[in-house]
Structure 1
Amino acid sequence: MITRIASCSCGQLTAQVSGEPVRNSICHCLACQRRTGSPFAQQARFPRENVRFAGTSTEYVRTGDEGTRARFHFCPQCGATVWYEPEAFDGFVGIPVGAFADPAFPAPTVSVYEERMHAWVVPPRDAEHFS
């Protein structure tokens, strides 16, 4: 079984995952754009039992467009988000794909909030697309 480690910028906070993600998506919502400082966010979702956390995190709770909340865990030293817990998907953990720092990580299979997508962004052709 494949194992990957996601980390903050300074390495103090980590999440080790076992197995492949159950969902790998990109989100173009404005909140994700602001959170990442990028035109979109890519995240991989894993069953909570497949994730081991280490280090100290600070939590930020954000309410999404549909009213559901997510608890983002970031490093109190460098500020990088390493994982989040979407309340709408209890039992799962989302991890920003950039935290893996792995150019070989699989491409996203889902693209959401495309009505807010920057005009130059081109999601993978075979991904599911949602506005």
Structure 2
Amino acid sequence: MWRPPEPGILRLNFDAGLVGEGGYGWGFVVRDHLGDIILLGVQQGDGFSDPETEEARACLFAIRCAMAHGLRRLEVEGDCLSLVGRLNAETSPNNSLGYFISDILSLAGNLDVVGWKFIKRG
């Protein structure tokens, strides 16, 4: 169940999924402490890799969009436990997934507040 962030902080929820025969879909929503939507976005394309990598790509897409709109005080939530664990530990494997995690962590260094939280899929 979604819970509001503290006033002054925005919550960013992201997700990825398989679309059709090998395509991907990413989506995110940013909400304030009242639950009002501040920003949302989606993207679809061809070439689904693996679930954890697609979740990382969705997270990177969401953070880039939020930052492009001047949003800096973010708590980030996703439903991929392994990815959230890697982000909290600030570890990235030596493969394509690691490339996306490194980019996410690099961008997060430019945020005022960042927290990585796992949420169960509703």
Q: Report the TM-score, using the length of structure 1 for normalisation.
A: 0.27
Instruction: Write 1 or 2 for the structure with the bigger share of strand.
Output: 1
TM-score with structure 2 length normalisation?
Answer: 0.29
